[in-house]
Amino acid sequence: MYSTRIPLIFFAILLSQLISAQTTPAASANAKMKTFVDALMKKMTLDEKIGQLNLPGSGDIVTGQAGNSDIAKKIKEGKVGGLFNIKSVAKIKDVQKIAVEQSRLKIPLIFGMDVIHGYETVFPIPLGLSCSWDMQAVERSARIAAIEASADGICWTFSPMVDIARDARWGRIAEGSGEDPYLGSQIAKAMVKGYQGNDLSLNNTIMACVKHFALYGAAEAGRDYNTTDMSHQRMYNDYLPPYKAATDAGAGSVMASFNEIDGIPATANKWLLTDVLRKQWGFKGFVVTDYTGINEMIDHGMGDLQNVSGLALKAGIDMDMVGEGILTTIKKSLQEGKVTIQQIDAACRRILEAKYKLGLFEDPYRYCDEQRAKTEIFTDAHRKEAREIAAQSFVLLKNQQNVLPLKKSGTVALIGPLADNKENMPGTWSVAANFANATSLLTGLKAVAGNNVKILTARGSNLDEDSVFEERAGMFGKSLRRDSRAANVILDEALAIANQSDVIVAALGESSEMSGESSSRSNIEIPKIQQDLLRALLKTGKPVVLVLFTGRPLALKWEQENVPAILNVWFGGSEAGFAIADVLFGDVNPSGKLSTTFPQNIGQVPIFYSHKNTGRPLPSGQWFQKFRSNYLDVSNEPLYPFGFGLSYSNFSYGDIKLSSVALRGNQTLTASITVTNNGSVAGKEVVQLYIRDLIGSVTRPVKELKGFQKVELKAGETKTVTFSITTNDLKFYNYDLKYDWEPGEFVIMIGGNSRDVKEGKVNWKK
């Protein structure tokens, strides 16, 4: 009896599982999509299929005149799959109309844009946002960006940018989340969730595009578009995790990077785009090139346009941004047997699937609701959130004798080339921003200070002595309005004002285009003319607060030694002026922590906390010893370590408590610590967990971030913060690129930054 019943039950369960596997909502949605795309592709000519792979530059489209644009002809001929960086629902609607009314198969276009840190409501540059260590804030910023962009016709964003960057010379460090794969992965996930929500077909969610795949942040010498070359171990352990986190979170598309990997440009790297991305990670979306990424392979030395276009398609590229290499050569390559129809079909299918998932076939105007465009963009509610989030991104680097917060009385002298400049507040990649709507620091200070504060202001200096450099640093309309008066006249005017004040706020640093794409710097100090201004301001004997604008870590050794207070505000977005004032006057207590190490000088770059120990580390407490791994002229220490940031509160940590010091296999270790706010105001502290694997089959970093919690503590309050650690937290890619953990001793560290930690040791056996 018994023996015959077991198989019957077994088969019944199997059958029900099989049935339910085929009928889960996801499976039946996929089946429906397949049927739809199959039917459509049967009707498509080869040229129409190739047309879907084309993402041309959008040219100059004028509302109401789109039909006359160069691009219109191509759209009608079915030679365009999508367009990007067109702003306004009216324009997008006009262009979509051409596709769905005048092309043979009426296939809608996909509309993309670089919505990198907000749409019209602009949030801090990503490097700044990452310093909030607040995943809800990060997700919220992406959600609001999606609501606004989708209200204006956009359904696809070229974000998140998740390139790990450890070289402050590289301007695009501003666009990512800093140096750490763990923090970067959490942020990548939060952003994808914010953009895509749970249902991509809703009219207020947009498709994410993870970029730049891969390793773009490791460009040699920090020079943009330069070569990258690294071991697969570093790649898998340090650089690839955030891209994987984003695709695991369901990101609908990926953008290939400009750089080469193992000697083959990413755009033609089959190992990367097919073996890793699709086979190892199971990515199902589509891959777009970066801007002219295919054509650039001619200069990389990979062959002529036909050759490189074929290589790209074969590697796994589905859509060609701007260069039209695929559009103009792939048919010939097919005829010559250099690519197959299956490869063209696969790419075309993925583009059509993306459009299907976005609901564009159901309603091509889904994202073109003019009413939404009027009511959901740059709203008071969005601006309020942007202001709050911006304040969380600022990092207080120094605050000697509590110069900050400022009192809401007396006279403040606001001085510097960035004191009254709203165009530079939103930061690099604020494509959709309306600069007229941004708030300058002067406006923000006046609004927050109240009636008892007198605010005086002067420029003090230009951004840089060199007007040609200044022009380069003010591209894209972010004018610095250069002052043509002699430098000493500008300075004297500022000093006269400074002398009348109780406190000086110096708004200095980089302009927003001194970081970002194609803005690498070989000198990462504050421009000399501004340093001179700062020195002169300090000589007045008044307390000076440096409000530092920057898109990268700067070398601030002199400033750290001489300026009483430094608040790093990055580029905080459209509401930056208010948010900075909120923090300066203490309405908001700063809580940002660096997601990137600040070096003492440029020679230390690349510098990052999770380095290896080497065979000749320095003995502790020493900064130089002959025949040890160090410099003759500077210690190995950063100026400000990863994870560092002060507060108007003062936090202290108790000793670390471990639930066990000897663990086995799948047991869980609990590590806890008490954190006390010894200050007189409530504040937020980012409590960070690091682990060191003392002995490995390959060398392991001196510490790696494995968790963090942002906790709020009232004045005088103590909280216990607890982390649960399992062997998942100990895993890494070994020499054979197998992801596993190895038994042995581990140092568990908890602290308020990567340098100042309390530690304990455990032994973990298999």
Catalytic residues: 290
Nearest to 84 by CA among 209, 195, 173: 209
Binding to ligand BGC (CB under 6 A) within 539-598 occurs at none
Does the CA dihedral 463-466-467-469 come out positive or negative?
A: negative
Measured from the CB atom, is 211 or 383 closer to ligand BGC?
Answer: 211
Per DSSP bridges, beta strands 651-653 and 669-677 are antiparallel
| Contact criterion met (CB below 8 Å) for 334 and 62 | no
Q: Which of residues 624-653 bind ligand BGC (CB under 6 A)?
A: none
Choose which of 48, 94, 114, 729 interacts with ligand BGC (CB under 6 A): 114
SS (H, E, C) 668-727: CEEEEEEEEECCCCCEEEEEEEEEEECCCCCCCCCCEEEEEEEEEECCCCEEEEEEEECH
> Closest distance between ligand BGC and the C-beta of residue 85, in Å?
6
CB of 293 to ligand BGC, least distance (A): 9
Q: Which is nearer to ligand BGC, 156 or 651 (CB)?
A: 156
- What residues pair up with 713 in beta bridges, in sequence order? 683
Longest dimension (CA), the chain: 103
Q: What's the closest the beta carbon of residue 513 comes to ligand BGC, in angstroms?
A: 14
Distances 369 to 24, 115, 197, 721 between C-alpha atoms, Å = 32, 19, 19, 47
Distance in angstroms (rounded) separating the CA atoms of residues 146 and 251: 14
What DSSP string describes 62-89? -TT-GGGSHHHHHHHTT--SEEES---H
Kindly state the smallest distance separating residue 288's Cβ from ligand BGC, in Å: 9
Give whichever of 501 and 519 is closer to ligand BGC, judged by the CB atom.
519
**Which tokens sit at 333?**
């390559």
How far, in Å, are 5, 185, 219, 404, 570 from residue 176 at the CA level?
59, 11, 14, 29, 13
Q: Which is nearer to ligand BGC, 266 or 391 (CB)?
A: 266
User: Between 71 and 110, how does the x/- string for binding to ligand BGC read (CB under 6 A)?
Assistant: --------------x-------------------------
Question: For helices 25-43 and 341-357, what crossing angle results, to 10°?
Answer: 130
**Helix-strand-coil percent breakdown of the chain, rounded to 5?**
35, 20, 45
Q: How far is the CB of 259 from ligand BGC (least distance, A)?
A: 11
Alpha carbons 371 and 752: distance in angstroms, whole number: 47
Of 502 and 517, the one with the shorter C-beta distance to ligand BGC is: 517
Residues 13-52 that bind ligand BGC (CB under 6 A): none
* Dihedral sign for Cα atoms in the order 470, 476, 480, 485: positive
Q: What are the helix (H) ranges across 417-478? A: 441-449, 467-472
Going 450 to 454 to 459 to 461, the CA torsion angle's sign is: negative
Please, what is the minimum distance in Å from the beta carbon of residue 103 to ligand BGC?
A: 24
Distance CA 13, CA 24 (A): 16
For residue 517, state whether it binds ligand BGC (rule: CB under 6 A).
yes
Q: How far is the CB of 235 from ligand BGC (least distance, A)?
A: 20
Under 8 Å between Cβ of 689 and 707: yes
476 binds ligand BGC (CB under 6 A): no
| Side-chain-side CA neighbours of residue 293 (13 Å) | 32
Q: Which of 302, 212, 324 is nearest to 259 (CA)?
A: 212
Query: Contact between 291 and ligand BGC (CB under 6 A)?
Result: yes
Strand partners, 118: 122
Per the rule left: phi > 0, alpha: psi between -120 and 50, beta: everything else, 74 is alpha
Query: What is the number of the residue whose Cβ is closest to ligand BGC?
Result: 158
* Smallest gap from residue 458 Cβ to ligand BGC (A): 37
Q: How far is the CB of 116 from ligand BGC (least distance, A)?
A: 8
311 neighbors 297 (Cβ within 8 angstroms): yes
Residues of span 118-177 touching ligand BGC by CB under 6 A: 158
**288 DSSP β-pair partners:** 255, 319
Applying the rule CB under 6 A, the residues between 210 and 249 that interact with ligand BGC are 211
Q: In what order do the strands lie in the sheet with 565-568?
A: 395-399, 565-568, 544-549, 503-509, 410-415, 453-458
Shortest distance, position 302 Cβ to ligand BGC, whole Å? 19
Q: Based on CB atoms, which residue is closest to ligand BGC, 114 or 260?
A: 114
**Does residue 326 contact residue 61 with C-beta atoms inside 8 Å?**
no
Nearer to ligand BGC, 428 or 677 (CB): 428
Output 211 or 357, the one with its CB closest to ligand BGC.
211
Shortest reach from residue 159's CB to ligand BGC, in Å = 8
Are 684 and 588 contacting, i.e. CB atoms less than 8 angstroms apart?
no
Q: With contact defined as beta carbons under 8 Å apart, do 170 and 606 qualify?
A: no
x/- track of binding to ligand BGC for residues 348-367 (CB under 6 A): --------------------
Q: Of 474 and 516, which CB lies nearer to ligand BGC in the complex structure?
A: 516
CA distance 424 to 500: 28
Distance CA 249, CA 208 (A): 10
Residues whose CB is less than 8 angstroms from the CB of residue 550 and which lie 6 or more positions away in sequence, other chains included? 509, 510, 515, 568, 570
Cβ at position 225, least distance to ligand BGC in Å: 9
Report CA-CA distances (Å) from 122 to 427, 481, 624.
9, 22, 45
Q: Is 158 or 213 the residue whose CB approaches ligand BGC more closely?
A: 158
Q: How far apart are CA 373 and CA 31, in angstroms?
A: 34
Taking a C-beta distance cutoff of 8 angstroms, is the pair 328, 297 a contact? no
**Minimum distance between the CB of residue 161 and ligand BGC, rounded to whole angstroms?**
7
Size of site (CB under 6 A) for ligand BGC? 7
- The 3-state DSSP class for residue 687 equals strand
Q: Please give the residue ranges that form the binding site for ligand BGC (CB under 6 A).
A: 85, 114, 158, 211, 290-291, 517
